Chains A and B, each alone.
Chain A
Amino acid sequence: MKTILLDELKPNERAIISKMSINAEIKKRLMDLGFISGEEIEFFAKSILGDPKAFLIKGAVVALRRNDCKKIRVSRIE
């Protein structure tokens, strides 16, 4: 399945989390918040200056810096 970076997800788009190539500490933190392979994630909002971005996951809104968004791979839900 074609995967894109979480950073590339556009407004109103949904995706499934595929792989997180991120350092252990933040990975653990993200997993606590529901960022787990197979979980659905949706673009929520972008901050005024473009960074960080916010995503809807498990009903909650989580903000992530773009550096980290580029380390998470997701596959779009068409």
Chain B
Amino acid sequence: MNNPFIYNNVDRKRKIIALVGNPNVGKSSVFNILTGQNQHTGNWTGKTVENARGRFKTKREEYIIVDTPGTYSLSPLSTEEKETRDFLLSGKVDLIVFVSDAELLERNLYLCLQLIKMGYPMVMCLNFMDEAKKQNIEIDIKRLSERLRMRVIPFSARKKEGIEELKRAIDDAAVPVPMKLSENKSPEELNKIASSIAKETVKREKKRKVNTIDKLLSSKIIGFPLMLLMLMIVFWLTISAANYPSRFLEELFSYLENLLSDFIMLFGAPKVFHDAVVFGIFRVLSAVVSVMLPPMAIFFPLFAVLEESGFLPRVAFNLDRPFAKCRACGKQALTMCMGFGCNAAGVMGCRIINSKRERLLAAITNCFVPCNGKFPAMIVIIALFFGGSVSSAIGLGLIVLIGVGFTFIATALLSKTLLKGEGSSYVMELPPIRKPDFLRVMIVSLKEKTLKLLLRAIKVAAPAGLIIWGLANVSINGESLLTIVSSALNPIGKLMGLDGTILLAFILGFPANEIVLPLAIMGYSGGSALMSATSGIGEVLMKNGWSETTAVCFLVFSLLHFPCSTTFLTLKKETGSIKWAFVSAVLPTVFGFALCILINFISKIFQ
């Protein structure tokens, strides 16, 4: 049988462990602790769901371990559960490590019992023992182990306690003597067994109380402002902290560019080749990376911390109602927030939404909120045309709110047309508010999101750089192609309150929103290569006829136009069809186009 885990002959001899458990029990932590750097992500257990796979060593042997998506039961209600179940039934698994939350043992036992029925050797990793201790929960490990007929290892991923015992238990897990569980136990009966085991083994003094943070987040007065405040803090941290690394990278790339230039000239390559590679490909590439990487590397980890701490589920809880009115799901609030960091990441984040229709709604409308890449240009333009930095902050806030508003409009619209359907019933668990394992969360998010997206961005930025250079440097009758095309686009641009150069800049800015303004400057100054959009930008714009209307229309179109190539590719991959990627490109562009024309028209009337 074709086994995707078997990479080589040595692997063939290795036992395969499946890590199974409810969502939020810390499976990924356990996985990371065991495998360290030795892991990859991919679609290991099925066709669509991505999992992590890795290797780890015990004193006795080396194992392959596969992380499965968190699931509440093995009934095939969602794609993840179906694929997890199929994977477990496939016979490829040698041992199951069941990760359970010590604070929620009774509920976790439900899935555990279902797994026991399958007859695999099992070991229970009882995680969050440190949290349970804080809540005065005592668990009789010995009794639990007897009732379940498996080794139960008290574990704390955060304190890194229990690792050696877990490894030993895995080594020792021989052919099991499973509990006598006859085939057809109804959910009610399983529930009763889980309850009885829990009663015998768990002693808790006080029930889970409403955390102070919970109280604050559901308060009518403080709730929304508090959520907004947290979001603003994340933004502010991202924007302000990203400046220094961005500048550093710019200088680094400048230095590297000179090296590259010297290197190529050393080989006596023709000037055309040199210029195309250095000023075209390399320069656009470095512009994209130096502006994209630092914000991503800050925003994603911060966001992941909010997620792991339990804060984000409460945001989804509070914002479910407006989304429900648009026939969408509260989790869209979360993916929308992710979109502020990077639309591509927001789209990827839509995996947390169960219903396919609602997932599509969230993914397609994600680019209606401005991403980090749009902020720099917006801030510059607002500051130039509408006064100092205070108005920048207010202006940005306004744009964000408009983006959110349009998200709702677009979602409602799609719900009534292309993505018709009833809102799915919405059931969501609010995990306990816990201090997350900061280091692990940040490192994982860096690897998983930041690097992945950066690579995708680079893939498009390089060829795009070549095209941009080509347009700027190939001339027909003394006019560069760039000028010719932007002249051709001028009528449309003017209709929108912009001009051909700006429009072309948006189009060529498809690889990354960050280069739109630099491209416009390049176009205006007849330059042959991209330059950074900092000094003297005000004069260039004024000289080329920018008015306040132009600025407003620029901001509007910047907010409402097709997503960048990275997001577009991500959409295609996540939705599985290029049709939806196109819808997400056309929808905001149409809105932006119409709104710009309207604004231009109104401003002309009042002139």
Is A45's CB under 8 angstroms from B210's CB? yes
Q: Count contacts on A: residues with CB < 8 A to the other chain.
A: 38
B320 within 8 A of A: yes
Give chain B nearest CB distance to A44 CB in angstroms: 6
A1 within 8 A of B: no
Report which residue of B204, B330, B428 has the largest number of chain A beta carbons within 10 angstroms of its beta carbon. Answer: B428
A23 within 8 A of B: yes
Is B187's CB under 8 angstroms from A56's CB? no
Docked Cα-Cα span, A61 to B432, in Å, equals 8
Can you name the residue of chain B whose Cβ is closest to the Cβ of A45?
B218
B425 within 8 A of A: yes
A-B contact pairs, 21 of them (CB 8 A): A29-B77, A32-B72, A32-B75, A32-B110, A36-B187, A46-B218, A47-B218, A47-B320, A47-B321, A48-B223, A48-B224, A49-B318, A51-B321, A52-B330, A56-B207, A56-B208, A59-B103, A61-B430, A62-B427, A63-B429, A64-B426
Is A26's CB under 8 angstroms from B425's CB? yes
Question: Among A46, A54, A67, which residue has its beta carbon within 8 angstroms of that of B430?
Answer: A54
Give chain A nearest CB distance to B78 CB in angstroms: 9
Question: Which residues of chain A have C-beta atoms less than 8 A from B324's C-beta?
Answer: 51, 65
Give chain A nearest CB distance to B432 CB in angstroms: 8
Question: Which residues of chain B have C-beta atoms less than 8 A from A57's C-beta?
Answer: 107
Is A61's CB under 8 angstroms from B321's CB? no
Docked Cα-Cα span, A22 to B215, in Å, equals 30
Binding site for A on B (CB under 8 A): 72-73, 75, 77, 103-107, 110-111, 187-188, 191, 204, 207-208, 210, 214-215, 217-220, 223-224, 317-318, 320-322, 324, 330, 425-432
Per CB-CB distance, the 8 closest pairs between chain A and chain B, nearest first, are A32-B72, A26-B425, A32-B73, A58-B107, A48-B223, A61-B430, A49-B321, A63-B428
Question: Which residues of chain A have C-beta atoms less than 8 A from B110's C-beta?
Answer: 32, 34
Docked Cα-Cα span, A28 to B188, in Å, equals 11
Give chain B nearest CB distance to A23 CB in angstroms: 7
Give chain B nearest CB distance to A11 CB in angstroms: 9
A77 within 8 A of B: no
Docked Cα-Cα span, A54 to B73, in Å, equals 21
A13 within 8 A of B: no
Beta-carbon contacts of A5-38 to B below 8 Å, as 1s and 0s?
Answer: 0000000000000000011011011111110111
Can you name the residue of chain A whose Cβ is closest to the Cβ of B103?
A59
Binding site for B on A (CB under 8 A): 22-23, 25-26, 28-34, 36-39, 42, 44-52, 54, 56-65, 67-68
Question: Which residues of chain A have C-beta atoms less than 8 A from B425's C-beta?
Answer: 22-23, 25-26, 29, 65, 67-68
Give chain A nearest CB distance to B214 CB in angstroms: 6
Question: Which residues of chain B have C-beta atoms less than 8 A from A61's C-beta?
Answer: 208, 429-432
Question: Which residues of chain A have C-beta atoms less than 8 A from B191's C-beta?
Answer: 31, 34, 36, 39
Question: Among B107, B217, B223, B322, which residue has its beta carbon within 8 angstroms of that of A60?
Answer: B107
Is A60's CB under 8 angstroms from B104's CB? yes
Q: Chain A's interface: helix, strand, loop or mixed, by majority? A: mixed
Report which residue of A47, A56, A57, A61 has the largest number of chain B beta carbons within 10 angstroms of its beta carbon. Answer: A61
Report which residue of A47, A49, A60, A62 has the largest number of chain B beta carbons within 10 angstroms of its beta carbon. Answer: A60
Other than the given A42-B207, A45-B214, 5 more pairs (CB < 8 A) read A34-B106, A59-B204, A63-B427, A63-B428, A63-B430
Report which residue of B219, B320, B427 has the largest number of chain A beta carbons within 10 angstroms of its beta carbon. Answer: B427
Is A34's CB under 8 angstroms from B320's CB? no
Give chain B nearest CB distance to A4 CB in angstroms: 20
Give chain A nearest CB distance to B545 CB in angstroms: 47
Is A63's CB under 8 angstroms from B208's CB? no
Question: Which residues of chain A have C-beta atoms less than 8 A from B217's C-beta?
Answer: 48
A25-B77, A33-B107, A34-B191 known; A62+B207 contact, CB < 8 A: no
Question: Which residues of chain B have C-beta atoms less than 8 A from A62's C-beta?
Answer: 427-430
Question: Which residues of chain B have C-beta atoms less than 8 A from A67's C-beta?
Answer: 425
Is A52's CB under 8 angstroms from B214's CB? no
Can you name the residue of chain B whose Cβ is closest to the Cβ of A61?
B430
Can you name the residue of chain B whose Cβ is closest to the Cβ of A49?
B321
Is A44's CB under 8 angstroms from B107's CB? no
Give chain A nearest CB distance to B101 CB in angstroms: 9
Question: Among B107, B188, B318, which residue has its beta carbon within 8 angstroms of that of A59?
Answer: B107
Is A28's CB under 8 angstroms from B75's CB? yes
Question: Which residues of chain B have C-beta atoms less than 8 A from A47's C-beta?
Answer: 218, 317-318, 320-321
A26-B425, A26-B427 known; A48+B208 contact, CB < 8 A: no
Docked Cα-Cα span, A47 to B323, in Å, equals 14
Is A52's CB under 8 angstroms from B210's CB? no
Is B317's CB under 8 angstroms from A52's CB? yes
Docked Cα-Cα span, A13 to B551, in Å, equals 56
Report which residue of B219, B322, B324 has the largest number of chain A beta carbons within 10 angstroms of its beta carbon. Answer: B324
Can you name the residue of chain B whose Cβ is closest to the Cβ of A22?
B425
Give chain A nearest CB distance to B364 CB in angstroms: 23
Is B104's CB under 8 angstroms from A28's CB? no
Report which residue of A48, A52, A57 has the largest number of chain B beta carbons within 10 angstroms of its beta carbon. Answer: A48
Is B104's CB under 8 angstroms from A58's CB? yes
A33-B429, A52-B317, A65-B324 known; A58+B106 contact, CB < 8 A: yes
Is B77's CB under 8 angstroms from A59's CB? no
A52-B320, A65-B425 known; A59+B106 contact, CB < 8 A: yes
Give chain A nearest CB distance to B468 CB in angstroms: 47
Docked Cα-Cα span, A42 to B207, in Å, equals 11
Docked Cα-Cα span, A38 to B223, in Å, equals 34
Docked Cα-Cα span, A71 to B493, in Å, equals 55
Is A44's CB under 8 angstroms from B426's CB? no
